[in-house]
């Protein structure tokens, strides 16, 4: 199934801008690794976010949906706030 394209929604872009530079770089590397290989700590989401996935990168969660072989990233949040 990989490679995937990457599409950033506005809210996710704003989330990344709030991160410090080293954390943002780890997030970008994790997303790129998953988009190229399909490998990573991925779990399907449940409840209101059913049909979407989360990618764990350290203490942060990248929330995304797969649409037409594209990762549509809609959130990048600390684990304590990711599922609220």
| Position 84 in a domain | no
Q: In 3-state terms, what secondary structure has residue 15?
A: helix
The sign of the torsion formed by the CA atoms of 43, 67, 12, 37 equals: positive
Pairing of strands 5-8, 41-44: unpaired
Residue 52 sits in a domain whose CATH number is 3.30.2310.20
Q: Please check the confidence at residue 84 and state whether its pLDDT lies above 80.
A: no
- pLDDT score recorded for residue 18: 97
Residue 73 near residue 12 (C-beta atoms within 8 A): yes
CA distance 24 to 76: 10
11-60, pLDDT tens digit by residue? 999 999 999 999 999 999 999 999 999 999 999 999 999 999 999 999 99
Which domain covers residue 57, as residue numbers?
5-78
**For the chain, what is the domain count?**
1
Q: What is the mean pLDDT of residues 61-75?
A: 97
- pLDDT score recorded for residue 42: 96
Q: In 3-state terms, what secondary structure has residue 79?
A: coil
CA distance 11 to 22: 20
pTM greater than 0.85: yes
């Amino acid at each position: 199934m990989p490679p995937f394209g990457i599409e950033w929604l506005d809210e996710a872009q704003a989330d990344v801008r709030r991160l410090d530079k080293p954390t943002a770089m780890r997030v970008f590397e994790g997303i790129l690794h998953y988009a190229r290989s399909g490998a990573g700590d991925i779990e399907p989401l449940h409840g209101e976010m059913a049909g979407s996935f989360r990618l764990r990168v350290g203490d942060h969660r990248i929330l995304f949906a797969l649409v037409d072989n594209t990762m549509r990233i809609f959130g990048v949040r600390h684990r304590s706030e990711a599922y609220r």
